[in-house]
Amino acid sequence: MNIKPAKTSNTVVFMLLFIILISCFFFFINFYTVSPLPEDVPVLIIENTVIAEGSPFIIENDQVLLSYNIIKEHLDPYIFWDVAENKITITTFDKTVRLATESLTAMINNKPVEISFPAKKVTTQPYIPIHFLEELYDIKVNVISDKNRVIIDKNLSGRKMGTIASKEITMKLSPIWFSAPVVKLTKNDAVTVYSLEDGWFQVRTKDGLIGYVPEQKLEVFEMPNKPDNEPKQKVPTPGRGKLNMVWHYIYRITPDMSMEKAPPGLDIISPTWFSIVDGQGTIESKADISYIKWAHENNLAVWALIDNSFDPDITHEFLSSSETRDKIIRQILMYAELFQLDGINIDFENIYLKDKDLLVQFVRELTPILHEAGIAVSMDITVKSTSPNWSLCYDRKELGKVVDYLILMAYDEHWATSPISGSVASIGWVEQGIVTLLEDVPPEKVILGLPFYTREWEETPTESGNIAVKSRALSMAQVKQILKENDTHMSWDERAGQNFAYYTKGDSVFKIWVEDEQSIKLKAALINKYGLAGAAAWRKGFEEPVIWEVLYHELKLPSKI
């Protein structure tokens, strides 16, 4: 018997059924739509991210307030909530904003500004009026009240938009044809375009629905670049060459400078005038207006130094309080304006590692306020090491984003109480300090700190057979006198990039790695090698006059590198 016709008949029937089933499937998946957004809960859409859990916003008296946690996670990692003092601090490039919950007055750069609706604290976190945030964060907010939905767009450069090119298209939940439909779109409907995945564009409709449309069904265009409205801080630069700065240590009383001439090529002088002396933020001042007058008459900018008394407990106390940080900032601004300062140099040292983030917060709060007054901000940092209080406490990358300059204190390689003798700043150690800092900070923001001092080391054998080591800091002139008065042996130490001298007296050996024009020239040459902003020297009065000629040659004359 011939059964081939029966087999053919069965195959045809199967194929027809399959086609009917597929047609029905496509009919039903295009007839019904599935919303990608949850129903009956507040839904926040930030670009193409949907947030529906944890009450991302609340609506009160027709005002939308955005959750602090959402702001911190999705809009501003630097927003700061002081739980103890019930204060919110927002810092931008040019603004420091302070809000207290239930208050209709905000402080913007220390000036009171009335707001139409206050921040609210709900259970464990504050909620902030969303329209207050629009200008601060450069965002666009669309509130769809009837759907309990809020859409936030960031004002990005090069945003991609699209219009539907065919008569009608169904937006899909996923980038495949068999995916559930989300909504029907018709010709010329506008969507925001995010990405292209396997021939499908991820898009968002004007009412916040997110899904996918086929690449060939969408005409994509890029919006014109957004104008850069961010204000540019005028970073102080000299008339020629690199910055040349020196710190001036002021012990108790600022000296009369009227008869002194500024060294050639010096741009900035930093008197050590201000100290925070307690945890309540009290600042002691040694400032003198006649010093400012002398400096300005000699074409020197004055970047007054403020320190933290190098006390970690005092520092922890004042950094931990929003009110105290604000008090300190207001005092600094007052002194800066009173004494017509050109800049502030922050010299906070010996800080607990646990206060690392609070230190960044303080600098973020201070800088916009000083910038608004036309005052430059620099900060001193140490060479990277494993010391918690003296190195790890600095978040160099974040600090470098905020201040005008970070000054690398490239000295004290062997510090005053070091158990072994050695150079204050050997050339290899200094260069390595520069290289590791440049991993986090652009070179144009780095000023290299140079030592005008050195240490004399005394090594004495003990009864136990060990060597007792002690040291004293010396100026260049003092070293020259010691070399003259003693039977010293001196040779060039290639590794240190310095002259090395030693002499004996009794059972003790005295060693000096000399800082002089040769060693300073080698270190200063690194500024041009790495494209740094300039040099800062510790400290005025410890140098020999020839050093200024060396620095002038290295910093002010055209580089040969």
Report whether pLDDT(18) > 80. no
Which helix (H) or strand (E) segment holds residue 512: the answer is strand 508-514
Q: What is the pLDDT of residue 272?
A: 98
DSSP label at residue 507: T
pLDDT band at 232 (very low <50, low <70, confident <90, very high): low
- Higher-pLDDT residue of 524 and 240 is 524
Q: Answer yes or no: 398 catalytic.
A: no
In angstroms, the CA 352 to CA 560 distance is 43
pLDDT in tens, 394-409: 999 999 999 999 999 9
Mean pLDDT for all residues in the chain: 93
Token duo for residue 157:
């450069």
**Beta strand spans in 266-337 (E):** 268-276, 283-285, 301-307
Q: What is the pLDDT of residue 105?
A: 96
Q: What is the pLDDT of residue 420?
A: 97
Q: What is the pLDDT of residue 34?
A: 83
pLDDT in tens, 346-379: 999 999 999 999 999 999 999 999 999 999 999 9
Report whether pLDDT(21) > 60. no
Q: What is the pLDDT of residue 38?
A: 87
pLDDT band at 3 (very low <50, low <70, confident <90, very high): very low
Report whether pLDDT(480) > 80. yes
* Active-site residue identified among 85, 222, 260, 349: 349
pLDDT in tens, 84-100: 999 999 999 999 999 99
Query: What percent of the chain stands above pLDDT 70?
Result: 91
pLDDT in tens, 295-350: 999 999 999 999 999 999 999 999 999 999 999 999 999 999 999 999 999 999 99
pLDDT in tens, 114-127: 999 999 999 899 99
In angstroms, the CA 308 to CA 278 distance is 9
Please compute the mean of the pLDDT values over residues 174-184 and round it to a whole number: 93
Q: What is the pLDDT of residue 31?
A: 52
Residue 291 carries which side chain, given as an amino acid letter?
Y
Q: What is the pLDDT of residue 405?
A: 98
Query: Considering just the CA atoms, what is the radius of gyration of the chain in Å?
Result: 33
In angstroms, the CA 257 to CA 540 distance is 13
Report whether pLDDT(131) > 50. yes
In angstroms, the CA 284 to CA 274 distance is 6
In angstroms, the CA 556 to CA 240 distance is 6
Report whether pLDDT(40) > 90. no
Q: What is the pLDDT of residue 23?
A: 52
Indicate the pTM of the whole model: 0.92
Residue 286 carries which side chain, given as an amino acid letter?
K
What DSSP assignment string belongs to 347-416? E--S--GGGHHHHHHHHHHHHHHHHHTT-EEEEEEEPP-S-IIIIIT--HHHHHHHSSEEEEE---SS-T
Full set of structural domains in the chain with CATH: 43-154 (3.30.457.10), 157-224 (2.30.30.40), 243-556 (3.20.20.80)
Query: What percent of the chain stands above pLDDT 90?
Result: 86
Q: What is the pLDDT of residue 158?
A: 82
Token duo for residue 541:
């009065």
Q: What is the number of other CB atoms lying within 10 angstroms of the CB of residue 150?
A: 23
Q: Could you report how far apart the first and last alpha carbons of the chain are, in Å?
A: 98
Q: What is the pLDDT of residue 25?
A: 47
- In DSSP terms, 306 is beta-bridged to 274, 346
Q: What is the pLDDT of residue 227?
A: 63
Q: What is the pLDDT of residue 427?
A: 98
